[in-house]
């Protein structure tokens, strides 16, 4: 009889997560091999009656051989599945957090422990224990995460917001909670709303640790991004004219956009909203806007809050923490340009579509198109959603002596049944 063996390749191929189909295939392979050997057994053991004793001995021998081969096949299948699972983890970068490591902070171990409900199973949710939530990519940054969770319980938290942001940017989101008291500074001189929208923010009410600049004058002399040049200067410059006066055909005044609808714009979401000027202008129209931001090179969150607006400290890799179909308006500028593979932008766009209600507006504001292919890819992606194009402008701007292409559009989400 022949022998059967299963071999694993050199690991260069990409494998997907094991499914019901792959398990069924393994079972089918096993049944096929067993059936073949049974037929072979029948062929080899058939003989006249006068050779029954000799045949019986050979039959027992063949059965033992088949049993050994089946056991060998089962072991090889098990080893193959384990190797595939390990390769999958290496490809996806996913691995469960190993709390047995010596460098894991005790507070992290305590936070990640499962805590049984005091009254047993909850009749409404069906859960029996509370499970802590932490981003699976945290496993790749265990040293930083343990450093973040190394503190004195009930004491002051380390001044490490920049460490927390570094973890978030590495995909370690959400971060675990901590049992320490966050550092704070006196918020003296805050203005009442709506005066606070356009009053300068004092340097003294902001924490400048971990930042290159230590005051707003320094920040206003820098270009922090395509949408933030002097964006902390609410008195001089163009910041107090944004969304009111257009500097080019790609700039849409807020009144023009709101006129495209028959009312009903009450709450909005601004993605990567800089210093919060869009939310401030919408507040003047009695529209509440949440601004997502990170403190990249500047204290954006504290500045937005000082203006009396709502900052949301969140990366664009995180699923938006909102229910479906809740926003009347989503505004996105170059903060939407997350780079990487096209699928990354697709995931983001589908999440934007999820939180935007039917009939709501998606406002793409001066989205930078690095090349013609990127412009076409974005156009094809938008068309997949079936949005109605209320405004669609592609224009050029001169940046650093060269011409760059920008897309501005106002899109209306259709009703889907």
- Specify whether 148 is located in the same domain as 265: no
Q: What is the pLDDT of residues 112-134, one digit of tens each?
A: 877 788 888 888 878 888 777 77
* pLDDT value of position 322: 96
- Per-residue pLDDT band at 14 (split at 50, 70, 90): very low
CATH number at residue 305: 3.40.50.150
> Looking at residues 331-343, what average pLDDT do you find?
75
Q: What is the pLDDT of residues 81-117, one digit of tens each?
A: 777 766 655 554 445 667 777 778 888 888 887 778 8
Q: What is the pLDDT of residues 40-69, one digit of tens each?
A: 666 555 555 545 556 666 667 777 788 888
- Whole-number Å distance between alpha carbons of 248 and 39: 81
Do 66 and 45 meet the contact criterion of CB atoms below 8 Å apart?
A: no
Highest mean pLDDT out of 69-78, 143-152, 335-344: 143-152
* pLDDT value of position 199: 94
- Specify whether 173 is located in the same domain as 247: no
Does residue 392 lie in a domain region? yes
- Specify whether 172 is located in the same domain as 272: no
Q: What is the pLDDT of residues 186-233, one digit of tens each?
A: 998 899 999 999 999 999 999 999 899 999 999 998 888 878 888 999
Does residue 393 lie in a domain region? yes
Residues 6+ apart with CB under 8 A from 49: none
- Specify whether 406 is located in the same domain as 273: yes
- Per-residue pLDDT band at 28 (split at 50, 70, 90): low
Please, what is the average pLDDT of the chain?
83
* pLDDT value of position 21: 47
- Whole-number Å distance between alpha carbons of 55 and 50: 10
Domain count, the chain: 2
Q: What percent of the chain clears pLDDT 90, i.e. is strictly above it? A: 45
């Amino acid at each position: 009889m022949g022998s059967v063996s299963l071999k694993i390749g050199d690991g260069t191929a990409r494998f997907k997560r094991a499914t019901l189909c792959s398990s069924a295939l393994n079972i089918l392979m096993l049944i096929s091999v067993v059936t073949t050997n049974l037929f072979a057994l029948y062929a080899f053991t058939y003989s006249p009656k006068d050779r029954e004793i000799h045949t019986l001995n050979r039959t027992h021998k063949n059965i033992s051989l088949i049993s050994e081969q089946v056991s060998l096949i089962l072991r090889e299948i098990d080893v193959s599945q384990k190797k595939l699972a390990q390769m999958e983890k290496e490809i996806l970068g996913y691995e469960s957090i190993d709390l047995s490591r010596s460098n894991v902070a005790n507070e992290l171990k305590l936070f990640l422990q499962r805590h049984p409900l005091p009254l047993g199973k909850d009749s409404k949710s069906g859960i029996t224990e509370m499970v802590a939530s932490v981003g699976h990519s945290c496993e790749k940054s265990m040293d930083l995460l343990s450093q973040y969770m190394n503190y004195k319980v009930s004491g002051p938290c380390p001044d490490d917001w920049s460490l927390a942001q570094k973890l978030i940017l590495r995909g370690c989101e959400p971060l675990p909670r901590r049992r320490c008291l966050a550092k704070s500074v006196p918020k003296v001189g805050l203005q009442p709303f709506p005066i606070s929208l356009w009053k300068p923010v004092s340097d003294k009410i902001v924490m400048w640790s971990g930042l290159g600049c230590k005051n707003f004058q320094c920040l206003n002399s820098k270009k922090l991004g395509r949408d933030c040049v002097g964006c902390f200067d609410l008195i001089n410059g163009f910041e107090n004219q944004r969304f009111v006066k257009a500097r080019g055909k790609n700039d849409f005044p807020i009144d023009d956009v709101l006129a495209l609808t028959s009312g009903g714009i009450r709450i909005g979401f601004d993605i990567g909203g800089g210093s919060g000027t869009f939310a401030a202008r919408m507040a003047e129209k009695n529209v509440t806007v949440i601004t997502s931001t990170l403190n990249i090179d500047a204290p954006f969150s504290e500045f937005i809050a000082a203006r009396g607006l709502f900052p949301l400290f969140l990366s664009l890799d995180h699923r938006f923490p909102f229910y479906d179909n809740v926003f009347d308006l989503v505004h996105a500028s170059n903060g939407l340009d997350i780079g990487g593979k096209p699928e990354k932008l697709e995931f983001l766009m589908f999440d934007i579509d999820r939180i935007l209600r039917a009939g709501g507006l998606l406002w793409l504001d001066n989205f930078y198109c690095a090349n013609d292919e990127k412009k076409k890819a974005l156009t094809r992606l938008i068309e997949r959603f079936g949005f109605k194009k209320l405004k669609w402008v592609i224009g050029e701007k001169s940046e650093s002596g060269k011409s760059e292409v920008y897309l501005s559009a106002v899109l209306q989400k259709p009703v889907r049944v």
